[in-house]
Structure 1
Amino acid sequence: MTELMRETDKQLKDMAERLRLCMLRDNMSELMNMATERRLSPRELLMFLFNKEIEQREVNRIRLTTMGAHFPRLCSLESFDVNAQPALEPGLLRELSRMEWLETAENVIFVGPPGVGKTHLAIGLGRRAIELGYSVRFFTAANLIAVLSKAKQDGSLVHKINQLQKFKLLIIDELGYLPFDAESAALLFQLISKRYESRSTIVTSNRPPSEWGLVFGDPTAATAILDRLLHHCTPVVIQGDSYRLREGVKQQKIT
């Protein structure tokens, strides 16, 4: 590389820095060499460089948004073993994966015993939503109630509910594993009511909705919450063997 080329690359990097084109700034020489090898025309060169910058920004956006969603682990819809749950209709999963229900503020409820993949599917749909540009936040039901209870105690409940309202998709995992008192049910009702017909919510539960009155200890609150969740909703019942138990059996056979 000649001294003139080095100086030109430095100037280009400085310009990219001023324009906040980080991908171009950090990879200027490599990208220019690739463009030269491909003998790109001026228009093709611009298209090539801009596409590289956009691709990197999209990767960064997905990474940061995924971190902000606070998923307990990373799961994808593609890695879900549909064959292991024959009662689950593959066509329904394909329909949900198109995420059209987010635009109409519809909800999804996954119901089934522990270990059948409810959380896996909820996270998978959450990640698909992020890829499409939507904001997502994940909570276990217990953690969500703890957050709302703390906000109520310090006088910031309205602010906290408004914050959670901004997420296009809210995932509430493991509803039904621990009982809630009347105050917790009231807090959850306020949040669900705020999001009603404006934002989507995914709920996973080991109990069918008919038993949610037992979860909340207040049939009235349970009915009010269910009315809003189920009004525009796709319920998905998963019946089958536990993934965790099946993997445990496999490991025992191997050893």
Structure 2
Amino acid sequence: MSAAAQGRLALMLTELRLPTVKQLAADICEQADREGWPGLRLLEALFEHEMAQREVRRIARHRLESGLPPEKLLSSFEFAAVPAVSKAQINALAEADAWLKQGANLLLFGPPGVGKTHLVAGLGHALVDAGHRVLFTRTSELVQRLQAARRDLRLPHELAKLDRFDLLILDDISYVRRDQAETSVLFELIAERYERRSLAITANTPFSEWGAVFPEPAMTVAAIDRLVHHATILEMNVESYRRRAARPGHAPAGRKAK
């Protein structure tokens, strides 16, 4: 292919927004000429590379927008320290999307420091890798965001933006307190996503103490009812990681005790 022809092709591929084909066209066309590929095989090879790179870029964009802690992966979670949590069950949630299609929820309970955030963030990363859109946020930060949206008469718009995500992870719901203005926006979020979009929630306190989160008992009951319907509930009532790490002879993940 002449330099002029390569230049024209590069311009067309830029206009068509096919950067991977543009990058690889010369080498793959040379291979096709050398090996006598039919035209259909050449096109298939070029577009397979383009589609694969588009998927890589899409996942990278979704991971960036997710807000997930980058270091908290399932591969580094100490399942042995939390016997009540089945690694097989978590892997099943990561690999199957039926629960997301049903708008089912995941609720993780346990005292501070047992790995709830790590586990749910690791699941979030796995779901992003599988092509799903996930958003990780502190519950208190999201409540403040929704409160501001309500004051500005933008709450429906803000809820619609959150609806783009297959899974919304609300970390540390127990730190939200009903004396914060209008925490009823949290209930509106739960009601809006009910049976349509999934929530994953971590909590340091049992349901019996959630009256401190919502402004009215009836709202507390209604919120819990919507969350537990179609939910997987994980109880992580073990000693905190920090306490385990402080004990003599404890070996952190990936290291041997001396």
TM-score normalised to structure 1 length: 0.85
Counterparts of 2:28 and 2:111 in 1: how far apart (Å)?
52
Counterparts of 2:180 and 2:60 in 1: how far apart (Å)?
38
3-state SS in 1 of match to 2:226 = helix
Out of 221, 224, 227, the position equivalent to 1:226 is 224
Structure 1 partner of 2:53 = 56
Out of 158, 163, 184, the position equivalent to 1:186 is 184
State whether residues 185 and 221 of structure 1, in contact with CA within 8 Å, keep that contact through their aligned partners in structure 2.
Answer: no
Q: Percent identity?
A: 35
State whether residues 90 and 123 of structure 2, in contact with CA within 8 Å, keep that contact through their aligned partners in structure 1.
Answer: no
State whether residues 77 and 118 of structure 2, in contact with CA within 8 Å, keep that contact through their aligned partners in structure 1.
Answer: yes
Cα deviation for residue 245 of structure 1 reads: 4.6
The 5 Å alignment of 1:124-135 reads 124-135=122-133
Structure 2 partner of 1:11 = 8
Structure 1 partner of 2:64 = 67
Going from structure 1 to structure 2, the CA distance change for 1:217 and 1:158 (only over 3 Å counts) comes to closer
Counterparts of 2:244 and 2:34 in 1: how far apart (Å)?
52
Query: Which deviates further from its counterpart, 198-207 or 94-103?
Result: 94-103
Cα deviations by residue, 1:201-231 (Å, 9 ceiling, x for unpaired): 1101111222212344643322121011111
Query: Which deviates further from its counterpart, 215-224 or 29-38?
Result: 29-38
What is the aligned-residue RMSD (CA, Å)? 2.6
State whether residues 185 and 222 of structure 1, in contact with CA within 8 Å, keep that contact through their aligned partners in structure 2.
Answer: no
3-state SS in 1 of match to 2:171 = strand
Going from structure 1 to structure 2, the CA distance change for 1:34 and 1:80 (only over 3 Å counts) comes to farther
State whether residues 74 and 123 of structure 1, in contact with CA within 8 Å, keep that contact through their aligned partners in structure 2.
Answer: no
Counterparts of 1:38 and 1:126 in 2: how far apart (Å)?
44
Does 2:137 correspond to 1:136?
Answer: no
Counterparts of 1:206 and 1:42 in 2: how far apart (Å)?
61
Structure 2 partner of 1:123 = 121
Structure 1 partner of 2:103 = 105
Cα deviations by residue, 1:224-247 (Å, 9 ceiling, x for unpaired): 210111111111111334344545
Counterparts of 1:44 and 1:143 in 2: how far apart (Å)?
52
Query: Which deviates further from its counterpart, 240-249 or 24-33?
Result: 240-249
State whether residues 68 and 125 of structure 2, in contact with CA within 8 Å, keep that contact through their aligned partners in structure 1.
Answer: no
Going from structure 1 to structure 2, the CA distance change for 1:242 and 1:124 (only over 3 Å counts) comes to same
State whether residues 177 and 214 of structure 2, in contact with CA within 8 Å, keep that contact through their aligned partners in structure 1.
Answer: yes
Going from structure 1 to structure 2, the CA distance change for 1:221 and 1:55 (only over 3 Å counts) comes to same
TM-score normalised to structure 2 length: 0.85
Q: What residue identity is the alignment partner of 1:234?
A: T
Please list every run of 5 or more consecutive structure 1 residues that lacks an aligned counterpart in the other structure.
none
Counterparts of 1:37 and 1:235 in 2: how far apart (Å)?
59
